[in-house]
Structure 1
Amino acid sequence: MAAFTVAIPVYNGERSLAEALRSIAVQNLDGVEVLVSDNASTDGTAAILAEWQDRLPLRVIRRTQTLPMRDHFNALLDDVTSEAYMLLCHDDYLADPAALDLAQAALRDNPDVASVYCDLVYVDDQRRTLAHRRFSRSGRFDPDATGRKCLASGRNLFGIPIAIRRSALGETRYGDDFLYAMDIDLSWSLASKGGAFHIDRPLIANRYSNDNMTWKLLGTTLSEYLGLARKHGSAPGAIGRARLAAVCQFVTAQKLAFRYYARARAWLG
């Protein structure tokens, strides 16, 4: 049995899936399984996976019908059997050849840590760097305090997990009430299972494109952050709601501005 799984949920990913797989192929793959869940794609995804079948320790699950995104992610988590895993969206990729080694070392050296995070690099469709997301932390940090800071800032201050211990995950899954904030909800839920660790290197490239689900979900920001407050803390009063609404509106404006910046970069070449 593999010790670590890179789990990739994909739907119609022919434009970027091969890039994600290439970023894994340059890693140290001792004890690593690549688990891809094809969510009944209708494009060339299956052909790409067939090309990579003998080039990676690859296990492919083909869904017979397309599941909603959250259900697909949860179904994929049910199929992970290794001691630890990371979930890599098919349009993202590993930004450092040492990413998996560093992630597994962080878990090995910190046996009470439930999840590991890292700095990020934002890229466009052509892999051009748009920005670096640095979290200004290194080593162990308090995940519960980070969750509360997410509420105060209207932003995901956890980042993207590059490793999660499956024993800590247990039966925890992406919650039914969240899509925009589903990553925050899962990371915060893991806070009760153990500590968190941060690697201050950009190990994951997060792609910004017009296809990102983020743009479709921006209108749900306030309702989902209120849901986070109710689930993990306490429901805010009238003043707290007004403050959170202002914060979410400001962050939404920032995200839209970044989207226009990315579009301008693409147009200018």
Structure 2
Amino acid sequence: MARMDIAIPNYNYGRFLHDCIASVYRQDIEEIRILIIDNASTDDSVAIARDLAAKDPRIELCLRPENLGQHASFNTAVDWAQSDYFVILCSDDYLPDGALGRAVAALDRHPEAHLAFGDTLFLEDGATPPPGDRGTLQADERVWSGENFLRASCERGRNLIGGPMAVVRTSVQKRAGHFRRDLPHTDDMEMWLRFAAMGPVVEINHVQSIVRIHGSNQSAVVSNVHHWNVASEAAFEAFFSGFGRSLPQARDLLALARRSLSDRAYWCAVSHVLRGEPGVWDLARYAVKLRPTSAVFPPLGYAWRKADLWQRMAAMLPGKSRFHAQQTEP
């Protein structure tokens, strides 16, 4: 059996496929299987995928005659996986040298952990990537208990895994099940909450994935803080009403997530007012919807937890230079 299964969903990203596959070849994993899942691309993706598969027997193809959507590809990958470890790598992204080796080494060292993730580098399309850095297979790492990971996710009101790529134990992925089709932008976030509900996760202090920023990114559709708040709320609601419903602190954690999202929306609305940006009322209404008391009592606790919030707010005010000088005097 192969050590790792790597699924690569693709739609009209033929121009990225070679770089994506090449980054897989530069990993410290010898025993791999690769599945390219094409969602009825209209560019040259299929021809490129067939050429790659013809040159490497480890590459399998799933070439759909019609576009069934990204979740169909993700869930086909979940069903296909059978090796020790599993990862979904979107074809417009790629891996830094040694990323998979670091993740597998971390999970081997921590058999109680179900998932390994690291930092994500977001790179403008066409920008020159940094030099390859294989680094060490034992980068600094932190093991989160599942409970602490869930609580931190709720306290911050967001996905703690900054990019879409994480290496998981295949057996645990089978227990976690399929990605939810009703979460077009935060399906991965909800999935990582499921993993945390089942046990610890490992955070690696190293860039583990590189995401290209271009106009066709799925995340490009989500254009502002308000839309991301709404998408994140949907992930929390889906998790705590479904997979995480039976957790002992499910109700309290969901309340914590709602409060965090409300507080962020409130202070983003304040910053939009100071900068003269649109969207103030969307943010304000959202903050009050999730936490009605914020209509009367500003969420000062959130502001105090954000060490630099007051300085950033002050920088938006008239006379900001004098204010900053007064604040920094001994």
Q: Which has the larger radius of gyration?
A: 2
Q: CA separation of 1:19/1:139 partners in 2, compared to 1, >3 Å: closer, same or farther?
A: same
Post-superposition Cα deviations, 1:104-147, rounded to whole Å, max 9, x if no partner, equal 212222111110001221111124359xxxxxx72312344333
Higher relative contact order, chain-length normalized (CA < 8 Å, sep 6+): 1
Q: 1:39 deviation in Å?
A: 1.1
Which of the numbers 138, 143, 147 marks the counterpart of 2:141?
Answer: 138
Give CA-to-partner distance per residue, 1:68-110, whole Å, 9 cap, x none: 22222112211112121111111110112x2222222122221
Could you say which residue in structure 2 is the equivalent of 1:133?
none
Task: Please state how far the C-alpha of 1:48 moved relative to its aligned partner.
Answer: 1.3
Give 1 or 2: higher helix fraction: 2
Tell me the CA shift for residue 196 of structure 1.
0.4
Alignment of 1:81-96 (within 5 A): 81-96=82-97
Task: For 1:163 and 1:155, locate their aligned partners in 2 and report how far apart those are by CA, in whole Å.
Answer: 19
1:75 and 2:76 equivalent? Answer: yes
TM-score w.r.t. the length of structure 2 is: 0.66
The TM-score normalised by the length of structure 1 is 0.80
Report the AA paired with residue 141 of structure 1: W
**What is the alpha-carbon distance in structure 1 between the residues aligned to residue 24 and residue 115 of structure 2?**
20
C-alpha distance in 2 between matches for 1:121 and 1:146: 22
Deviates more, 1:17-26 or 1:65-74: 65-74
Whole-Å separation in 2 of the counterparts to 1:169 and 1:248: 36
Change in Cα spacing, 1:152 to 1:29, as seen in structure 2 (3 Å) is closer
2:5 maps to: 5
Cα distance, 1:66–1:19 mapped onto 2, change above 3 Å:
same
Determine if contact 1:147/1:157 at 8 Å carries over to the other structure.
no
Q: Deviations over 1:183-206 (max 9, x none)?
A: 110001111222101221112111
List structure 1 segments (4+ residues) > 6 angstroms apart after TM superposition.
247-252
2:192 equivalent in structure 1: 187
In 2, Cα distance between the equivalents of 1:38 and 1:247?
Answer: 42
Higher strand proportion (structure 1 or 2): 1
The answer (yes or no) to whether the contact 1:3–1:32 under 8 Å persists in 2 is yes
Distance 1:43 1:210 in 2: 16
1:243 to 263, 266, 280: 263
Q: Where in structure 2 are there 5+ consecutive unaligned residues? A: 131-139, 241-249, 273-330
Instruction: Measure, in 2, the Cα distance between the counterparts of 1:85 and 1:56.
Output: 18
After the TM superposition, which residues 82-231 of structure 1 pair with which residues of structure 2 at under 5 Å, given as runs?
A: 82-96=83-97, 98-128=98-128, 138-160=141-163, 161-171=165-175, 172-218=177-223, 220-230=227-237, 231=239
CA distance in structure 2 between the aligned counterparts of 1:249 and 1:11, rounded to whole angstroms: 36
Query: Percent identity of the aligned residues?
Result: 24
Unmatched 5+ stretches in structure 1: 131-136, 253-269
1:34-83 alpha-carbon deviations (Å, 9 max, x no partner): 11111111111112112222146211111221112222211221111212
Could you say what the CA RMSD is over the residues aligned between the two structures, in angstroms?
A: 2.8
Structure 1 pair 126–249 and aligned structure 2 pair: CA distance change class (3 A): farther
The amino acid across from 1:216 in the alignment is: V
Contact 1:37 1:63 in 2 (8 A): yes
Aligned pair count reads 244
Q: CA deviation at 1:179?
A: 1.9
